[in-house]
Structure 1
Amino acid sequence: MTEVSSGTILGRTTSMTANVLARTQFAVLIIDVRAGLHPLDLEVGKWLSKHAPQIKPIVVMNKSESIGESLAEVASEALALGFDRCTQDDVPSDENLSEEDESKLPLQLAIVGRPNVGKSTLLNALLEEERVLVGPEAGLTRDAVRVQYEFQGRTVYMVDTAGWLERTERDKGPASLNIMQSRKSLMRAHIVALVLDAEEIIKSQRSMAHSEVVIAKRAVEEGRGLVIIVNKMDCLGGKQNSEMYKKIKEAVPIEVQAVIPQITGIPVVFTSALEGRERLQVMNEVNGKYTRWCSRLSLVASTAG
């Protein structure tokens, strides 16, 4: 609500916004937690208090995934906006949101990763049925596949994406559409399951390729819950591979934490989708991550008044 000339586009837009707010009862003010309060945030807060006292603002602290466990501490900064703190009757708190209520919330799960890492095989393993065509040929999944699934009383919508490829000048037609579909699936998801290939980890001597790092960071930056799935662990069976099996299980969580230092405790599940191994552990981690994700949203609501 800065002072601008009434004849400019900014001036007309400001006037229009003020007219709308004058007839509004609630407003959502989004602030960037990483950047802190901007002078314009404070100006908007002052304007609302002076010109629209009937509005009950809801302050949303975006990008809070980057601040670890200090969310409540950072939320206190929002008090500088001059709004009264919400009461327990205004918004749901962690105590008011029971585990039973949380278990009823539908979960949107996106299974993402590079082509041929076993995303479709993992989806079939989770469903315990052959829902998606799988095989050694790359590119069998041409479109995102969305299926509904029930897990421990919760409805889960799982999306098997067509592979996340690094876009280049050559990516046109179906390849370009696959990239767009994968990104849309990630944006719509609550939880992102990033599937890695144990064989590729051994060959490259690193947990994640550049494109996989991009996926992981994008998921975290967009506020999605992230679970890492290391697939094809059956390739490391037998005594001759026991040492390599142990090294991978020790190294991957450490490397994931190094790549995404702003988030602690990212779950890493080692599985063989082909054999259906650790199927329940995958879903337990996904379900648990979603419960914590919902709790963080509740915490934001209860502290950002």
Structure 2
Amino acid sequence: MDMPTVAIVGRPNVGKSTLFNRLVGKKLALVDDRPGVTRDRREGDVAFGGLIFRVIDTAGLEEADDDTLTGRMRMQTEAAILAADVVLFVIDARAGVLPADQSFAELTRRAGCPVILIANKAEGGAGMSGAYEAFSLGLGDPIPFSAEHGEGLGELHNALIEALPKPDPDEEEDEDGSGSRSLRVAIVGRPNAGKSTLINNMLGEERLLVGPEAGITRDSISLDWEWRGRRIKLHDTAGMRRRARIDDKLEKLAVSDGLRAVRFAEVVVVLLDATIPFEKQDLTIVDLVESEGRALVIGLNKWDLVADQPGLLKQLREDCTRLLPQVRGVSVVPLSGLAGQGVDKLMQAVVDAAAVWDRRVSTSRINDWLSEATSRNPPPAVSGRRIKIRYATQVKSRPPHFALFGNQLDALPKSYTRYLVNGLREAFDLPGTPIRLSLRTSQNPFDKG
């Protein structure tokens, strides 16, 4: 099968070349704050979390006569759009949606290929509000992104999996006739938590080097496996420890490789040593997984060493709820990688966590819940005027992301947003998964509340 093609298009100076460099992994494209630095189509081959494709960096789309330099650049870009299997349409989230974005969105739509909308420079509050404005382009859900800082790569990877042409089953061993796709699972934890031992047991062979010394695994290793007919792509990662304690350059690289594995995974198993669980570093790793928006399962490894302590599992689950409120309800599974105990329960928890992470809730159900939640516990008043939440919807899944619309929502106290997140988690059965909540204040000048 020919390598699929992805074209990056958008107005000048929205960050297309920075995104190109990020995907290719090299600074092949010249980047500058001035518009119009890229004039020709530049191509590069990309290997991105198991996806392989050719990416084309195009000149910024500008409205101009065909016989001018700008016009010829625009024609080159249009040719790239027509030849592409997928278009990455980039806008500048800080600038918001401009009229030129609207006209070029129409051009892209007419091309008839899948379009992924990227709201670049979305870091910070101003960027996020611009990202939501991008809904008006009618190109689907925008991905809040920062090409400069590499934020949003996991979401882009998921979108590309859906948009790129599916390989022929005879040519690509990762697909079977039913179109099933491997569930990407990363196993992370402190050094010597038993990650490689667990994976060897899952695979039924000594595939990974193990030993009592911490830090044997250097690379993030990807392995194909099958559990009860479900394709799984397992990532074993190097032990993640505090950066202040890392002196060795190779280990620094290994830790950053582990971070990449988390970003490309759908479900992350954080493996704890049951003899010394919930160390500070364990909590930091869970925080990282939650901030990256990945589904989560906690594995208590070496359980055979502490299984004779009555009530310990109940106590550790209570500790988990207390120490990790941001992932309330997460599955905590006792297991022994060495003895091969608990692997089935762990994998069932992984599959269940993936289903929760991917869950969508209808707008009508969300608003029924919202009406009840705000009646039971109304939002507080600010300067004598009560905050009003008028409407809510789920803007995306993986992880579940909800948007609230109303007035003065920027004044909503954190305690109230926590109340809403916990309510969403409970009402729609979303245990353990990260939940995102965006607040959008009405811009209607006639809206007097």
When normalised by structure 2's length, the TM-score is 0.47
Q: Which has the higher strand share?
A: 2
Residue 294 of structure 2 is aligned to residue 224 of structure 1: yes
Q: Distance in 1 between the 2:178 and 2:303 partners?
A: 33
The equivalences for 1:89-100 within 5 A come to none
Matched, 1:150 2:205: no
Change (3 A) 1:248 1:141: same
Q: 2:102 aligns with which of 46, 49, 60?
A: 49
CA contact (8 A) 1:112 1:195 kept: yes
1:202-223 deviation per Cα after TM superposition (whole angstroms, max 9, x unaligned): xxxxx241x3333223323333
- The AA in structure 2 aligned to 1:233 is W
2:187 to 111, 128, 138: 111
Counterpart pick for 1:275 among 329, 332, 339: 339
The residue correspondences of 1:74-85 to structure 2 (distance < 5 A) are 81-83=136-138
1:249 corresponding residue in structure 2:
317
Measured after TM superposition, the shift of residue 117 of structure 1 is 1.0
Which of the residues 226, 237, 254 maps onto 1:178? Answer: 254
* One-letter identity of the residue aligned with 1:196: L
1:162 corresponding residue in structure 2:
238
Alpha-carbon shift at residue 281 of structure 1 (Å): 1.1
Aligned counterparts of 2:178 and 2:96: Cα–Cα separation in 1: 32
The structure with the largest helix share of the pair is 1
CA–CA distance in 1 between the matches of 2:38 and 2:257? Answer: 36
Q: Provide the C-alpha distance between the structure 2 equivalents of 1:276 and 1:13, rounded to a whole number of angstroms.
A: 57
Q: Name the structure 1 match of 2:201.
A: 125
Q: What secondary structure, in the 3-state scheme, does the structure 1 residue paired with 2:285 have?
A: helix
CA contact (8 A) 1:30 1:60 kept: yes
Q: Are 2:55 and 1:12 aligned?
A: no
Kindly state the Cα deviation for residue 291 of structure 1 after the two structures are TM-superposed: 3.8
Q: 1:228 to 1:101 in 2, by over 3 A?
A: farther
The Cα shift of 1:39 comes to 5.5
**Amino acid of the structure 2 residue aligned with 1:168:** A
- Please give the alpha-carbon distance, in whole angstroms, between the structure 1 residues aligned to 2:334 and 2:119: 34
The alpha-carbon deviation at position 112 of structure 1 amounts to 0.8
Inter-CA distance 59–140: structure 2 relative to 1 (3 Å threshold)? closer
Is the CA contact (8 Å cut-off) linking 1:142 and 1:162 kept in structure 2?
yes
- What is the percentage of aligned positions where both structures have the same residue? 28
Structure 1: which 5+ runs fail to align?
32-36, 63-73, 87-91, 93-99, 202-206
Offset, 1:157: 1.9
Q: Specify the SS of the correspondent of 2:235.
A: strand
Greater shift, 122-131 or 190-199, is seen at: 122-131
Asked if 1 retains the 8 angstrom alpha-carbon contact of 2:185 and 2:233, the reply is yes
Aligned-pair CA distance for 1:228: 1.4
Measured against aligned partners, the alpha-carbon deviations of 1:63-115 in whole angstroms (never above 9, x if no partner) come to xxxxxxxxxxx9xx5576242779xxxxx8xxxxxxx9998111222111111
Match of 1:189 in 2: 265
Change (3 A) 1:30 1:137: same
1:237-291 CA deviation, whole Å, 9 max, x = no partner?
Answer: 32xx2133431132224422x2xx2x55433222222332221111112123334
Native 8 Å contact 1:253 1:268 kept in 2: no
- Aligned match of 2:370: none
Q: In structure 2, what is the Cα distance between the partners aligned to 1:29 and 1:267? A: 38
Separation of aligned partners in 2, 1:157 and 1:268 = 21
Question: Structure 2 vs 1, CA of residues 169 and 232 (structure 1 numbering), >3 Å: closer, same or farther?
Answer: closer
Post-superposition offset of 1:52:
5.0
| C-alpha contact (below 8 Å) 1:109/1:157 kept by paired residues | yes
CA–CA separation in structure 1 for the residues paired with 2:243 and 2:270: 18
Q: Contact 1:144/1:161 (CA < 8 Å) preserved in 2?
A: yes
Root mean square deviation, CA, Å: 3.9
After superposition, where does 1:201-212 map in structure 2 within 5 Å?
201=277, 207-209=278-280, 211-212=281-282
- Residue of structure 1 in register with 2:389 after alignment: none
Partner of 1:141: 217
Distance (Å, rounded) in 1 between the aligned partners of 2:208 and 2:134: 51
> Quick one: distance in 1 between partners of 2:328 and 2:317?
17
For 1:275, the aligned partner's letter is A
Question: Following TM superposition, by how much is the alpha carbon of 1:155 offset from its aligned partner in structure 2, in angstroms?
Answer: 2.0
Q: Secondary structure at the match of 2:186?
A: strand
2:259 maps to a residue whose letter is: R
Q: TM-score, normalised by structure 1?
A: 0.66
**Cα 1:231/1:102, change in 2 over 3 Å:** farther
**In 2, are the aligned partners of 1:21 and 1:52 still within 8 Å (CA)?**
no
Q: Distance in 1 between matches of 2:87 and 2:262?
A: 27
Q: Give the CA deviation at 1:230.
A: 1.7
Deviations 1:144-169 (A, max 9, x none): 44322111222212122221122237
Q: Distance in 2 between matches of 1:181 and 1:39?
A: 30
State the AA in 2 paired with 1:53. E
Residue 155 of structure 2: aligned partner? none
